[in-house]
Amino acid sequence: MTSSSTSHVFSALAPYGWDEAWADAFAPYEPEGLLPGRVVRVDRGQCDIVTAGGMLRADTAFVTPHDPMRVLCTGDWAVVEPGGNPRYVRTYLPRRTAFVRSTSSKRSEGQILAANVDHAIVAVSLAVELDLGRIERFLALAWESGAQPVVVLTKADLVPDAVTLSHLVQDVETTAPGVPVLTVSALDGDGLDVLVAVVSSGTTVLLGQSGAGKSTLANALVGEDTMTVQATRDADGKGRHTTTTRNLLAMPGGGVLIDTPGLRGVGLWDAETGVGQVFSEIEELAQQCRFHDCGHESEPGCAVLAAIDSGELPERRLESYRKLIRENQRIVAKTDARLRSEIRKEWKKRGAQGKAAMEAKRGRWA
């Protein structure tokens, strides 16, 4: 690129997170005349990409389609052909971070939800009873992704009593050590200024169940009614899946937001580090146990059990920790088994190819 075109790319794409490091990563593709752009939305083998020349539509067929971890996703920085009908994405630049969960199928595969994320907002509705275990699950995936999680308690206007609200915040803070916990009412604007200050730089992904108020929150952050908002069911506080795809939106105060559909299932995907971060107080206590391989069940000298007996550690936290550790170990074991199976298949395939080649040679020699 010429200096003027480089300057134009920076000025046009900087609001979407373009920086010197991304420019360096893209440099090998410049001689081919390819374009850099950020993926705004992906659906049915095509995607919308914002480039220095504006928004364009491109086909994703060239990007590996068989591995769910390597498909193009919202938040990726794509390398796009300058023209053609259809226009194709050649590849994407190496990801800095990736938010991944296990697929809802029984196959041991991960599904990438968003790429190159700096902050992960876990939206939790105060219209229904808090599910602390689900919050811990979201936080484990957020920490594992490399993003900084933030818990946002939405619909705070539905809890007018200040003492009750304070207790709810305290419960979540105990569940989320080291994570900011904010209360927000998108309807009257309370708490939005603090949240905007937190996410005004970098890329933020918005996560949560249907009915958590994500679309209303996204509209408040973006400053316009970008997302359709549907009423929550009175019976159980759950909403419809208003957002059906992941969309990347520029925020007027700086930074970009990726809104995601409501997630019914939030399976862990090789998230040992994330689980340890969520339950950091248990991991710290475990260092004081008499035995280094203490299972915190009934072993003598267990610092974790002593903390439960003294009331320092809620028993619910330990049970949740055990549950997520077991789940993560199962998915890792499945993944390892799948990889071993794929390697064996590849060996058999190569062996058959080698055998066929030898037989062909013998046929020529005969």
Q: pLDDT 10s digit of each residue in the chain, 366 long?
A: 566 667 888 889 999 999 999 999 999 999 999 999 999 999 888 999 999 999 999 999 888 667 777 889 999 999 999 988 889 999 999 999 988 877 654 555 677 889 999 999 999 999 999 999 999 989 998 898 889 999 999 999 999 999 999 999 999 999 999 999 999 998 788 999 999 998 888 999 998 887 788 888 888 888 766 544 444 433 344 444 344 467 899 999 899 999 887 555 566 666 788 888 899 999 999 999 999 888 898 899 999 999 999 999 999 999 999 999 888 887 777 665 555 555 456 556 656 655 665 566 556 555
Q: What is the pLDDT of residue 365?
A: 52
Output the pLDDT for position 170.
Answer: 95
Residue 40: its pLDDT value, please? 95
The whole model's pTM is what?
0.79
Span 21-43, pLDDT tens digits? 999 999 999 999 999 999 999 98
Q: How far apart are CA 16 and CA 40, in angstroms?
A: 10
Q: What's the pLDDT at 236?
A: 41
